[in-house]
Amino acid sequence: MDEFNASKPIYLQLADRIHRQIVSGELKAGEKLPSIRDMGIKYSMNPNTVQRAYSELERGGILEARRGQGTFVSEQRDRLAQQRVKLKQEQIAEFVHVMQEMGYSAAEILAGVEQYLNSAQKGDK
């Protein structure tokens, strides 16, 4: 439970999580997802909620339900690529919004991000 927060419906948080796993490549195109029940067990989550998350992603064309076989990651790669861009835009928009609210200018934000990424890269090495 601690992994989920209250600001957003749980089914959307689960949908986001699966979405991110697809974008990151953790879940590959055409890969089978755990059954609704197994997913529920994994996150101690109500199967109805898992169902809603899956449905949400199916509507977005990211997942595909195949009758009698289960739920799969879509094989429409362009669709996934599109989603990858969309998710990036969303995250950036959220971040920029918060930064601007706190009064940072575009230049400050840009410089901050650049600096952060550089030092993170150094830290990696």
CA-based end-to-end distance of the chain: 35
Q: Does 8 bind another protein (CB under 8 A)?
A: yes
Q: State both tokens at 39.
A: 């997913």
Tokens 């199916």, residue located: 58
Site string for another protein, 14-53 (x = CB under 8 A): -----------------------x--xx-xxxxxxx----
Separation between Cα atoms, residue 102 and residue 89, nearest integer Å? 20
Closer CB to another protein, 6 or 102, in the complex: 6
Size of the site for another protein (CB under 8 A): 18
**Using CB under 8 A, which of the segments 1-9, 65-73, 90-98, 104-112 binds another protein?**
1-9
Say what angle helices 77-101 and 10-23 make with each other, to 10 degrees. Answer: 120
Q: 53 near 42, Cβ under 8 Å?
A: no
**Using CB under 8 A, which of the segments 9-17, 19-27, 80-88, 110-118 binds another protein?**
9-17
Residues numbered 57-116 forming contacts with another protein, rule: CB under 8 A = none
Q: 33 near 72, Cβ under 8 Å?
A: yes
Closer CB to another protein, 7 or 69, in the complex: 7
Q: State both tokens at 30.
A: 């055409």
Rule CB under 8 A: choose which of 7, 107, 124, 125 binds another protein.
7
Separation between Cα atoms, residue 104 and residue 99, nearest integer Å? 6
Give the residues lining the site for another protein (CB under 8 A).
1, 4, 6-11, 37, 40-41, 43-49
